[in-house]
Chains A and B, each alone.
Chain A
Amino acid sequence: MSEKLTEEMLAALPDTRGHFGAFGGRFVSETLMDSLMTLEKEYLRLKKDPEFQATFDKDLADYVGRPSPLYFAERLTRETGGAQIWLKREDLNHTGAHKINNTIGQALLASFLGKKRIIAETGAGQHGVATATVCARLGLECHVFMGAEDVQRQSLNVYRMKLLGAQVHPVESGSRTLKDAMNDAMRDWVTYVEETFYIIGTVAGPHPYPLLVRDFQSVIGRETRRQSLEKTGKLPDALVACVGGGSNAIGMFYPFLTDESVQLYGVEAGGLGIETGQHAAPLCAGRPGVLHGNRTYLMEDENGQISSTHSVSAGLDYPGVGPEHSWLKDIGRANYVSVTDDEALKAFRMLTLVEGIMPALETAHAVAYAVKLAATMDKDQMVVINISGRGDKDIHTVAQLDGIEI
């Protein structure tokens, strides 16, 4: 890294137009601009409003169940034979993933703005479930857009959303996965912009979404920092998180950005292998472009058409990534790596067998890389993995790969 990050530098990002260096911004059709500017203005006001923050904190404590534990994975550490491996247990949150931190925050914003109709996109269904959950609690109308292929591979979450009173709209266009769900959510938004609040599930999209989602998810890193100091008297040496859009990773990384000693690893979906082209790893193998309202690393062809992606995990199956990650990559503050479907599946089984914790397939990517990393580190060092979600939703996928019908 060329330059040490300071709190002042971070406070100035994103800039007033939503840029993180060369990335981010607001690339949407004119119809949405007024709504985004209002959202930005209101959010920046509410960010400093003690009542808003107190309500958010209370909901995180009493409804989500925070703080989530920082757990020492003793047996996994022994089996790995390197650095101590600790798990930040976001899988223990209400609804089983980190996604709820953000949906609580955005639903609160929606109610402060007086919007009664909520829309969301979802890949694995975790963000859809987390959105449907907060809508049920607040009595808001909820529409979730989900790629038709994901509707099939995540049927459990689809039914869960329906039980929570949401309408699930299968998206048949394009590759029928997360990016197409986001396209259709944006088409709905532009149609019903006056009455609708769009709860984006990750740190991508037009400004101010990357900012506000990062702020809402940063509770993960703040807790980890405090818990690490309490339990071990020091900061971790490395943080590892999976990156699709990158919300759990940015939530974990952000409070550590000025701590130079803490290495940051974002793990992308390597699919069948980067060399095959069948993956979802824009930071590892893409280039900057503009999609879904922001400039960021993308998977695209030489003509600027977005490439189709592949990952065993629906939640990582996305050709873009949050713009702040693109910035962290370019300044060299965070390292972005990838693991394949097979490695992730092996890690899924290992964590389940060795610690009795079944991670989401998305999360299993972080586990797979962290174990490799820990093995190269000293025994007195400490790695924290963000266990961003639990794996119940993936049991069908894993069983199917084993040739088992359930």
Chain B
Amino acid sequence: MSRIEGVLQTLKGQGRKALIPFITAGDPHPDETVGLMHTMVDAGVDIIELGVPFSDPMADGPVIQLACERALKHGTSLRRVLAMVSKFRETNNTTPVVLMGYLNPIEAMGYETFADAAVAAGVDGVLTVDLPPEEADEVAPLFSEKGLDPIFLLAPTTTDERIRAIADHSSGYVYYVSFNGVTGAAKINVDEVAAKVAHIHELTALPVGVGFGIRDAETAAAVGRVSDGVIVGSVLVDTIAKNQADIEELKRALTDLLNPMREALDSLAS
């Protein structure tokens, strides 16, 4: 069983929901990322999605675009992100880490080289935004074989046929994008999300994490009620941008954001 499956199964057994933060690796500076990951673990998160910065983040809104620019300005490469995960693993062997980003940096490194290096670093899953399952015939099995969970997106526009096909390619969890749009927009409609996630649950046994548009304890609880986990990204990245000058203050601000979300999610436990 992968580390991701283990964590999600334990939570399920406890009737709890996963809290999954996303931050861009190397933002505000590559030296700070590992510390921020530990801070988030201390605040009670279950899985960390670590964004691999890309020069052309087409699926992201302005907040994460700017995070990519800050990270790249300081020389954050995919190799350097893997080094951050290795460092994180020196003192944390339990929190799963999912790399989330775009295909080209992985393609530039070479799929097999990347998969081996990612496993060695302690990465658990890979979510590549611009890689639909149709183009993942070789990549997804390679990742699985090496011990990385391939994680794919589902969207409001995804047909039933595709939900099944995508679930077949996935392990760990599937990531449901709560609305048509880029990250950081404020469009979430909880009733629509509830209906779609219930439907996805009918088509696959995989846990469903929901991301895009979750900004506070209230939206986290509303979405947590109907899913297996919530993914929180832009509001954290925006907090990083606003507090980049003072890392201690930044860590406090992240904790202050995540603590109420954790409490709200745990209050759902039956």
How many interface contacts (CB-CB < 8 Å) are there between A and B? 118
Q: Say whether A193 contacts B106, CB under 8 Å.
A: no
CA distance A308 to B42 in the complex (A): 40
Known: A17-B134, A34-B158. A29 touches B105 (CB 8 A): no
**Could you give, for residues 278-316 of chain A, a 1 whenever the CB lies within 8 Å of some chain B CB and a 0 otherwise?**
000000000001111100001010111110000000000
CA distance A302 to B62 in the complex (A): 25
Looking across the interface, which residue of chain A has its beta carbon closest to that of B129? A29
B73 to chain A, nearest CB (A): 11
Cβ of A183 under 8 Å from chain B? yes
Q: Say whether B59 contacts A291, CB under 8 Å.
A: no
Known: A33-B162, A304-B108, A305-B55. A173 touches B65 (CB 8 A): yes
CA distance A192 to B72 in the complex (A): 29
Cβ of B269 under 8 Å from chain A? no
Looking across the interface, which residue of chain B has its beta carbon closest to that of A19? B135
CA distance A34 to B180 in the complex (A): 12
Q: Say whether B79 contacts A303, CB under 8 Å.
A: yes
Interface size on B, residues (CB 8 A): 43
Q: Say whether A194 contacts B180, CB under 8 Å.
A: yes
Cβ of B152 under 8 Å from chain A? yes
From A27, A174, A183, A289, give the contact of B135 (CB < 8 A): A27
B202 to chain A, nearest CB (A): 19
Q: Say whether A34 contacts B162, CB under 8 Å.
A: yes
From B57, B78, B134, give the contact of A303 (CB < 8 A): B78
**Could you give, for residues 49-81 of chain B, a 1 whenever the CB lies within 8 Å of some chain A CB and a 0 otherwise?**
000001111111110010000001000011100
Query: Which chain A residues lie closer than 8 Å to B104 at the CB level?
Result: 289-291, 298, 300, 304-306
Q: Say whether B107 contacts A193, CB under 8 Å.
A: no
Query: Which chain B residues lie closer than 8 Å to A25 at the CB level?
Result: 134-135
Cβ of B93 under 8 Å from chain A? no
A11 to chain B, nearest CB (A): 22
CA distance A186 to B65 in the complex (A): 14
Residue among B54, B108, B181 facing the most chain A CB atoms (10 A cut-off): B108
Cβ of A26 under 8 Å from chain B? yes
User: For chain A, which range describes its interface: under 10, 10 to 19, 20 to 34, or 35 or more residues?
Assistant: 35 or more
From B54, B108, B182, give the contact of A187 (CB < 8 A): B182
Query: Which chain B residues lie closer than 8 Å to A179 at the CB level?
Result: 56
Cβ of B185 under 8 Å from chain A? yes
Q: Say whether B105 contacts A190, CB under 8 Å.
A: no
Q: Say whether A33 contacts B158, CB under 8 Å.
A: yes
Known: A304-B105, A304-B108, A306-B104. A29 touches B78 (CB 8 A): no
A210 to chain B, nearest CB (A): 15
Cβ of A8 under 8 Å from chain B? no
Q: Say whether A31 contacts B155, CB under 8 Å.
A: yes
Q: Say whether A303 contacts B77, CB under 8 Å.
A: yes
Known: A303-B108, A304-B78. A31 touches B177 (CB 8 A): yes
Q: Say whether A33 contacts B129, CB under 8 Å.
A: no
B188 to chain A, nearest CB (A): 13
Q: Say whether B135 contacts A186, CB under 8 Å.
A: no
B167 to chain A, nearest CB (A): 12
Residue among A17, A25, A300, A303 facing the most chain B CB atoms (10 A cut-off): A303
Cβ of A35 under 8 Å from chain B? yes
Cβ of A51 under 8 Å from chain B? no
CA distance A293 to B185 in the complex (A): 22
Q: Say whether B180 contacts A193, CB under 8 Å.
A: yes
Additional pairs, 19, CB under 8 Å, beyond known A183-B57, A304-B106: A17-B135, A25-B134, A26-B135, A27-B130, A28-B130, A29-B177, A30-B132, A30-B155, A31-B153, A31-B156, A31-B180, A33-B134, A183-B58, A187-B58, A193-B180, A289-B104, A303-B77, A305-B77, A306-B104
Sample (8) of A-B pairs whose CB atoms are under 8 Å apart: A27-B103, A28-B130, A30-B157, A187-B61, A193-B180, A303-B77, A304-B105, A304-B108
